[in-house]
């Protein structure tokens, strides 16, 4: 295709992405290296209902306005925000490193810093949920494929539900069920014969609940992709394998899996990306006390009265960098494939 | 296929059925439970006194004389006029799907037919774009949208959702078009068609399986979105998901959780119908190549 | 334009003099605010005005919307309904205007206590008050033979008795959900122990103090008598526990008092036993361990004077004293409007005011402190770290965000 034609074909989608994704990314990067100006504070008398007057501090707007006009972008801080305690916490990590006597000490210390704690959960979530989703998806796909044709439709229908459901709603529904007096909560108490067991009160169990939710929600996505892949299985190869006396397991291992390998890569790619941004389950499960993720930080920074734009921007930039690092092996592979094709 | 099934040992056959049954329960039970619970009062649904109340409807009976009540639905649909949010949701979904497929097919087709190196980098850029958390993007839009008076209305939200969804659409359609033989449009071009004519007359008639599947994914994204719709739509233009969140209440004041539960059930119904009608298309579209990688 | 103004003015003088509530405005009014019933009433009241378009956008996410919505010129919103915690964000960004001249012109119905004065200028008009205070089950307290607690120490004793007598397993309720709610409970307790969040006249944090440690220890002791899931219980969940009869004592928002027993399916025992009283003190202090809140409205800065005037008139119409004659409206909140006679549900908030409860600090950096508290307290509540460590973490988190925002160097 000629460059000119390509340009016109690609223009609408490029424009949409440029305007609504690329520009905001540029502004996010700008915001992460510029912070709001130093506030000039003055003490004034404040009067409120039922109480009377007290002395309170407020921002001196006239003085601050002058500062703002001088440098509309804000105060240039370079990478300061990336390095502060809410993000990479360089100084604090150094201190912990110097003070801790063993590696365990060091990691316990790191666990006290919000960003590293969030990274720990985010990575656990990504690397537990992704393989489980792929594994469970594959098993379901193989099972459904082996079912009687009449049953297939029904099973596919119900299997897709956890995936199509709005994530926030799905998380809420499960959250209501795992309450210590909800049906799942009661069931688990009965299972472990411990009437005081509460999923929501313990960090470990809460992580488990979030992981289970993650798998439950995404397994159908993997399932439907793999199931489609199974429909194009080369029957001659299967037959050849059968003639060679391959067991069922060997057939799956040596014929089916290689056939759908590209699909596994595809699912892994999408899953890693989505799981790294895990956010809705934490809100839906009210789990912020036990598990936080980088996306949750961004949400939290932007919420409510404080609107810490610079901090949220820095977290967003770190998210993009994180995803890029995680995806780099896949990207390198795709690049090699691409070079091979052309 | 049949021959293989016949030779399957009984133990494996039983295992397959048990596993399917287990998975079905896991997948469907939360929905059944929520539908059942949506006809109860809040204290029963959350079974705060005893979990069996959720089954028997103890408090609901005390209040209404029978274990089921439609108060949640009545409240959400009649009192709170939830149907307005339903209408908004469908407007948003319809336009998001149409727009994103139109520009996505053009873009995806171009990417699949151009062998130059920049297509690879465009695809990778799209992938990185997809990694951006939508929450941050939205925070960046707020000020300009207010300045230009674009905030709060449906078209703004639609175009934002289209843009956020483009990377995924492009990837899906790109790999789908790659599986449509290049010879098809090449030969049309030899016959004197321009690239666009070739696309129009040769590719469009054969592209539907992949486009429908991609469209379903776009629909789901628009239907399920919370981050964008919650922040960019004004109260009267709200779609279903932010409205459900609004039912849940705030710190100071009571929400009406049962309105939320019945709205959740109502919001799931269209998804049920969608999956029922399109489940074949999803699979066949994926089979047709959108997932061959 | 001049003629129009004269016409408008005379119209308003005329209306002011009569009891009929016709309200004529000549410029657009656009309101943003939270969405609970009392605010819905205010929004609807403003929309009674005719002559120009009055629109309102009442949503839970108003705090994320109001600043960008008022920063433009002209601003999208001509009025934002806010509370004492959220006015700070508008003040910090300098998007609201002083109301002195408008109050002088159209504010004859206002009581002086409704005027929020900051640095001598009226910045907002308050219309309702709120505070957290005690709600309890009088039947249960009678059963164990104690008076309604006046202090948190007495609350603990009562809770102990209730548990020991096997009446309830977890008799105390509290909105201890990690994040905003938990931080708010700390604020209450911290102020009750006589703490102050910042060093005098500066943005330097001051929570790492004896009051801070006492507050944390008290919260920890209370949580022993709470449902083990307390870190996920926001006010909705806490109330549900109370209504189901699982909780006998709780510190709850006054704005929820009226609807506490009117929800569907509340048992008769809870309905008959429900009672409220003022906030409790702690550690022998005289100031209650609670904070006083108000909700009010502001007028945007970046709009024309006509729009500001129209907004003011419309908002005044929404909170005119004659509204208090409507029984439904009167019971919706603890109104600060003239002509309001407190309902039974308002006793708690008025008691809080009488006991000189501290208002929630209206400081430019209080929001940052609140979110630092919300993020760092849950480790302590789970017993994962000491009170000292938790307070040190809070200060460190606050300092990092205050530096970013330019309040500290």
pLDDT grade for A341, boundaries at 50, 70 and 90: low
Same domain, A99 and A153: no
Same domain, A98 and A239: no
Rounded to whole angstroms, the Cα distance separating C384 from A203 reads: 11
The confidence score (pLDDT) of residue C295 equals 92
Q: Which residue of B has its CA nearest to C241?
A: B48
* B239 close contact with C: CB closer than 8 A: no
Same domain, A154 and A262: yes
Same domain, A101 and A134: no
To the nearest whole Å, the CA of B137 is away from the closest chain C CA by 14
* C185 close contact with B: CB closer than 8 A: no
The answer to the question of residue A106 being in a domain is yes
Same domain, A251 and A165: yes
Q: Which residue of C has its CA nearest to A313?
A: C404
pLDDT grade for C3, boundaries at 50, 70 and 90: very low
* C-alpha C17: how far from chain center: 33
The confidence score (pLDDT) of residue B290 equals 47
The confidence score (pLDDT) of residue C6 equals 45
Mean local confidence (pLDDT), A56-80: 83
Among A272, A302, A328, identify where a domain stops: A272
Among A240, A272, A304, identify where a domain stops: A272
The confidence score (pLDDT) of residue C146 equals 93
Give the count of domains, chain A: 2
**Which CATH number fits the domain that encloses residue A139?**
1.10.3720.10
HEC sequence for C149-206: CCEHHHHHHHHHHHHHCCCCCCCEEECCCCCHHHHHHHHHHHHHCCCCCECCCCCCEC
Same domain, A90 and A201: no
To the nearest whole Å, the CA of C19 is away from the closest chain A CA by 26
Contact (Cβ atoms closer than 8 angstroms) between residue C118 and residue C128 = no
The confidence score (pLDDT) of residue B250 equals 63
pLDDT 10s digits, C319-369: 999 999 888 888 888 999 988 988 888 899 999 988 989 989 888 899 999
Same domain, A108 and A241: no
Contacts of A161 in chain B (CB under 8 A): 27-28, 31, 271-272, 275
The confidence score (pLDDT) of residue A174 equals 86
Rounded to whole angstroms, the Cα distance separating B115 from C195 reads: 69
To the nearest whole Å, the CA of A126 is away from the closest chain C CA by 23
Looking at every residue in chain A, the average pLDDT score rounds to: 86
Give the domain extent around A87: 79-112
The answer to the question of residue A122 being in a domain is yes
B81-290 maps to CATH 1.10.3720.10: yes
The confidence score (pLDDT) of residue B249 equals 65
Same domain, A191 and A88: no
Rounded to whole angstroms, the Cα distance separating C206 from C391 reads: 9
Same domain, A209 and A195: yes
- C219 or B206, which is more confident? C219
> Mind listing the pLDDT tens digit of every residue in chain B (293 residues)?
444 544 678 888 899 899 999 999 989 888 888 888 888 888 788 777 677 777 777 778 877 888 888 888 988 888 888 999 999 999 999 999 999 999 999 999 999 888 788 888 898 888 888 878 888 788 778 778 888 888 889 999 999 999 999 998 998 888 888 888 888 888 888 888 888 888 888 888 888 888 988 999 899 989 988 888 988 888 889 999 888 888 876 655 666 788 888 998 899 899 888 888 888 888 887 777 645 54
pTM for the whole structure: 0.88
Sequence spans of domains, chain B: 25-69, 81-290
Express as a percent the part of chain A with pLDDT over 70.
Answer: 99
Mean local confidence (pLDDT), A37-59: 81
B48, B142, B231 ranked by CB distance to C240: nearest: B48
Among A255, A272, A289, identify where a domain stops: A272
Strands C121-137 and C334-335: antiparallel
The answer to the question of residue A5 being in a domain is no
Contacts of A164 in chain B (CB under 8 A): 220, 224, 271, 274-275
Same domain, A93 and A156: no
The answer to the question of residue A154 being in a domain is yes
The answer to the question of residue A147 being in a domain is yes
Q: How many CA atoms lie within 13 A of A271 on its CB side?
A: 31
A21, A27, A231 ranked by CB distance to B164: nearest: A21
Q: Which residues of B171-186 are buried (b: 16+ CB within 10 A; e: fewer)?
A: bbbbbbbbebeeeebe
Same domain, A97 and A153: no
* C11 close contact with B: CB closer than 8 A: no
Weakest mean pLDDT among B193-207, C196-210, C305-319: B193-207
* C353 close contact with A: CB closer than 8 A: yes
The confidence score (pLDDT) of residue C171 equals 95
- Model-level ipTM above the cut of 0.90: no
* Cβ distance of A36 and C405 shorter than 8 Å: yes
Rounded to whole angstroms, the Cα distance separating B238 from B88 reads: 7
Same domain, A106 and A131: no
| Domains of chain C in sequence order | 2-129+292-354 (3.40.190.10), 131-291+358-405 (3.40.190.10)
Q: Which of residues 103-162 of A touch B (CB under 8 A)?
A: 139-140, 143-144, 146-147, 151, 153, 155-162
The answer to the question of residue A152 being in a domain is yes
Q: Which of residues 274-313 of A touch B (CB under 8 A)?
A: 276-277, 279-280, 295, 298-299, 302, 309, 312-313
Q: Which residues of C203-220 are buried (b: 16+ CB within 10 A; e: fewer)?
A: bebbbbbebbbbbbebbe
């Amino acid at each position: 295709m000629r460059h000119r034609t390509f340009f016109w074909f690609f223009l609408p989608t490029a424009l949409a992405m440029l305007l609504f994704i690329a520009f905001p990314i540029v502004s996010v990067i700008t915001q992460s290296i510029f912070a709001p100006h130093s506030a000039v504070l003055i003490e004034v008398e404040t009067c409120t209902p039922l109480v009377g007057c007290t002395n309170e501090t407020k921002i001196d707007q006239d003085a601050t306005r002058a500062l703002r006009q001088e440098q509309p972008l804000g105060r240039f801080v370079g990478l300061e925000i990336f390095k502060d305690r809410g993000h990479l916490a360089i100084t604090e990590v150094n201190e912990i490193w110097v003070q801790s006597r063993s590696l365990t000490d060091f990691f316990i210390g790191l666990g006290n810093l919000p960003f590293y704690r969030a990274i720990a959960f985010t990575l656990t979530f990504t690397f537990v949920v992704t393989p489980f989703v792929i594994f469970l998806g594959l098993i379901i796909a193989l099972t459904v494929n082996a079912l009687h044709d009449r049953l297939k439709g029904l099973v596919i229908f119900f299997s897709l539900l956890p995936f199509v459901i709005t994530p926030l709603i799905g998380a809420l529904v499960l959250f209501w069920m795992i309450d210590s007096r909800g049906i799942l909560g009661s069931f688990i108490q009965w299972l472990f014969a411990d009437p005081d067991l509460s999923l929501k009160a313990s960090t470990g169990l809460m992580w488990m609940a979030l992981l289970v939710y993650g798998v439950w929600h995404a397994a159908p996505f993997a399932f439907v992709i793999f199931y489609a892949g199974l429909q194009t299985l080369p029957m001659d190869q299967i037959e050849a394998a059968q003639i060679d006396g391959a067991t069922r397991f060997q057939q799956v291992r040596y014929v089916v899996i290689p056939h759908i390998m590209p699909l596994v890569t595809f699912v892994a790619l999408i899953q890693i990306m989505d799981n790294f941004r895990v956010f809705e389950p934490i809100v839906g499960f009210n789990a912020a006390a036990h598990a936080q993720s980088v996306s949750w930080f961004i949400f939290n920074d932007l919420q409510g009265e404080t609107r810490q734009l610079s901090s949220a921007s820095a977290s967003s930039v770190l998210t993009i960098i994180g995803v890029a690092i995680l995806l780099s092996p896949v990207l390198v592979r795709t690049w090699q494939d691409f070079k091979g094709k052309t | 296929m049949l021959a293989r099934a016949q030779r399957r040992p009984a133990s494996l056959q039983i295992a397959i059925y048990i596993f399917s049954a287990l998975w079905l329960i896991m997948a469907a039970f939360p929905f059944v439970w929520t539908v059942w619970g949506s006809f109860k009062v809040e204290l029963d649904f959350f079974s705060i006194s005893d979990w069996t109340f959720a089954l028997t409807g103890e408090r609901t009976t005390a209040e209404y004389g029978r274990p089921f009540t439609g108060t949640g639905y009545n409240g959400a649909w009649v009192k709170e006029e939830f149907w307005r949010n339903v209408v908004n949701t469908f407007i948003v979904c319809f336009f998001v799907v149409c727009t994103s497929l139109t520009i996505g097919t053009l873009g995806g087709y171009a990417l699949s037919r151009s062998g130059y190196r920049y297509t690879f980098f465009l695809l990778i850029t799209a992938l990185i774009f997809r990694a951006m958390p939508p929450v941050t993007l939205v925070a960046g839009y707020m000020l300009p949208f207010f300045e230009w008076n674009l905030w709060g209305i449906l078209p703004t939200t639609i175009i934002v959702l289209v843009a956020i969804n483009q990377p995924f659409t492009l990837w899906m359609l790109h790999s789908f078009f790659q599986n449509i033989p290049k010879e098809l449009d090449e030969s049309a071009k030899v016959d004197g068609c321009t690239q666009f004519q070739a696309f129009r007359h040769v590719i469009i008639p054969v592209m539907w399986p992949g486009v429908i599947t991609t469209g379903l994914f776009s629909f789901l994204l628009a239907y399920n979105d919370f981050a964008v719709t919650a922040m960019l739509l004004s109260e009267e233009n709200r779609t279903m998901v932010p409205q459900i969140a609004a039912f849940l209440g705030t710190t100071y004041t009571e929400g009406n959780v049962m309105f939320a539960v019945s709205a959740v059930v109502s919001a799931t119904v269209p998804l049920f119908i969608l999956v029922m009608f399109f489940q074949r298309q999803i699979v066949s579209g994926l089979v047709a190549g959108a997932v061959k990688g | 334009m001049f003629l129009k103004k004269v016409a408008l003015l005379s119209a308003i003088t005329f209306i002011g003099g009569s009891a009929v509530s016709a309200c004529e405005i000549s410029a657009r009014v656009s309101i943003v605010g939270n969405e609970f019933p009392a605010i819905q009433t205010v929004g609807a009241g403003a929309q009674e005005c005719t002559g120009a378009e009055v629109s309102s956008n009442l949503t839970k996410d108003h705090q994320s919307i109001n600043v960008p919505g008022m920063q433009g010129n002209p601003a999208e919103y001509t009025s934002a309904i806010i509370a004492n915690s959220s006015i700070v964000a508008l003040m910090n960004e300098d998007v609201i205007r002083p109301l002195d001249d408008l109050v002088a012109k159209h504010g004859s119905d206002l009581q002086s206590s409704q005027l929020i004065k900051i640095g001598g200028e009226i910045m907002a008009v308050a219309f309702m008050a709120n505070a957290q205070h005690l709600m309890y089950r009088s039947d249960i307290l009678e059963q164990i033979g104690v008076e309604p607690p006046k202090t948190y120490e007495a609350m603990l004793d009562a809770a102990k008795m209730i548990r020991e007598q096997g009446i309830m397993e977890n008799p105390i309720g509290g909105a201890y959900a990690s994040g905003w709610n938990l931080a708010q409970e700390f604020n209450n307790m911290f102020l009750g122990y006589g703490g102050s969040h910042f060093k005098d006249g500066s943005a330097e944090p001051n929570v790492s103090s004896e009051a801070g440690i006492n507050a944390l220890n008290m919260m920890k002791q209370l949580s022993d008598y709470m449902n083990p899931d307390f870190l996920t219980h926001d006010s909705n969940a806490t109330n549900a526990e109370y209504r189901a009869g699982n909780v006998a004592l709780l510190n709850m928002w006054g704005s929820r008092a009226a609807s506490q027993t009117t929800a569907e399916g509340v048992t008769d025992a809870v309905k008959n036993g429900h009672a409220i009283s003022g906030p409790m003190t702690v550690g022998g202090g005289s100031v209650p361990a609670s904070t006083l809140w108000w909700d009010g409205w502001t007028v945007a800065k970046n709009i024309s004077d006509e729009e500001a005037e129209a907004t003011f008139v419309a908002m005044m119409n929404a909170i005119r004293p004659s509204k208090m004659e409507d029984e439904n409206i009167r019971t919706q909140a603890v109104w600060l409007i003239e002509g309001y006679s407190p309902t039974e549900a308002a006793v708690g908030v008025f008691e809080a005011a009488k006991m000189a409860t501290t208002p929630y600090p209206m400081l430019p950096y209080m929001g940052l402190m609140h979110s630092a508290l919300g993020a760092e307290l849950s480790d302590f509540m789970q017993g994962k770290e000491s009170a000292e460590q938790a307070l040190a973490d809070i200060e460190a988190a606050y300092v990092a965000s205050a530096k970013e925002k330019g309040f500290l160097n």
